[in-house]
Amino acid sequence: MALLEVNDLSVYYGVIHALKGVSFTVEQGEIVTLIGANGAGKTTTMQCIMNLIPSRSGSVFFDGHDITKMPCHKIVNLGMTQVLEGRHVFQELTVYENLLMGAYSQKDKSRIKANIKEVYDHFPRLEERKNQIAGTLSGGEQQMLAMGRAMMSRPKLLMLDEPSMGLSPLLVDEVFSVIKSFRDSGMTILLVEQNAGKSLALSDRAYVLENGNIVLSGTGTELMASDMVKKAYLGG
């Protein structure tokens, strides 16, 4: 059974039919990417899986549990979290407090401490700035904080929504190498990216979303070779 199974998910914003029956799976240990143009429904899909927005019909299963109507905080307790589009770090809290918030679902204090140390090993910049208010960090540092904060709950499945958006090319490379190291440490990754080239190269499998429908799927390399993907998302 797949770690995440999305069946025929349908979402409306008022009268607008934003997701028209999206189905896909993410297997344990994979990196799976959703690519698609602006407005295709990528963020809607990610937020709907965690019930930040309600679905009209369809079902979502995670690790054997039906999470279709489960409140978001209970889904987090099952071992899934998300780095939202636009980072969403708590601007008024310090870096350290943000990381503690990331461990909100964890009870074991010594493990939280060990996790924080691991995040600092990953992102030494965060340790240097641990007592700084998060709102004063640069965009790249905030992205690192958002990813480090997500690590704190030790998720089985981590969803990342546009983690490279608005970052310099150097930082984009760093973000992708962090994603790879997350996978190497045993996390399963569901990724939404505008940077189709880099994300397909990293992905085991990928799905192309257009106007609320999945129109194409395959392995990362297959999709990179597809004429349609080349034309629409890889600049020819």
Partner 1 sequence: MEQIITTIINGLSLGGVYALIALGYTMVYGIAKMLNFAHGDIIMVGGYTIFVFMNATGNPIIAAIFAAVVCVILGASMEKLAYKPLRGASPLAVLITAIGVSYLLQSLSQIIFGPTPKTVIVADLGVTKIGNVTISNSSVLTLILTVIIMIALTLFIKMSKTGRAMLAVSEDRDAAKIMGVNVNGIITITFVIGAFLAAVASLFYLLKYPSISNTMGSMPGIKAFTAAVIGGIGSIPGAMLGGLLLGVIECIFNSFSEIAPYTDAIEFGILIVLLLIRPNGILGKKKREKV
Residue 100 near partner 1 by CB under 8 A: yes
Residue 132 near partner 1 by CB under 8 A: no
Cα dihedral value 15, 56, 203, 75, nearest 10:
130
Residue 104 near partner 1 by CB under 8 A: yes
Residue 190 near partner 1 by CB under 8 A: no
Residue 115 near partner 1 by CB under 8 A: no
Residue 2 near partner 1 by CB under 8 A: no
Q: Which stretch binds partner 1 (CB under 8 A): 6-14, 94-102, 190-198, 200-208?
A: 94-102
151 to 170: interface string for partner 1, x by CB under 8 A:
--x-----------------
Cα–Cα dist 153/54, whole Å: 24
List of long-range contacts for 141-144, beta carbons under 8 Å, 24+ apart: 142/87, 142/89, 143/87, 143/167, 143/171, 143/175, 144/178
Crossing angle (nearest 10°) for helices 109-122 and 139-151: 140
Residue 133 near partner 1 by CB under 8 A: no
CB-nearer residue toward partner 1: 55 or 206: 55
User: Residues 88, 111, 117, 231: which binds partner 1 (CB under 8 A)?
Assistant: 88
CB-nearer residue toward partner 1: 4 or 89: 89
CB-nearer residue toward partner 1: 52 or 216: 52
User: Residues 23, 37, 90, 194: which binds partner 1 (CB under 8 A)?
Assistant: 90
12 to 51: interface string for partner 1, x by CB under 8 A:
-----------------------------------x--x-
Q: Give the footprint of partner 1 on this chain (CB under 8 A).
A: 47, 50, 52, 71-73, 76-77, 81-82, 84, 88-93, 97, 100-102, 104-105, 149, 153
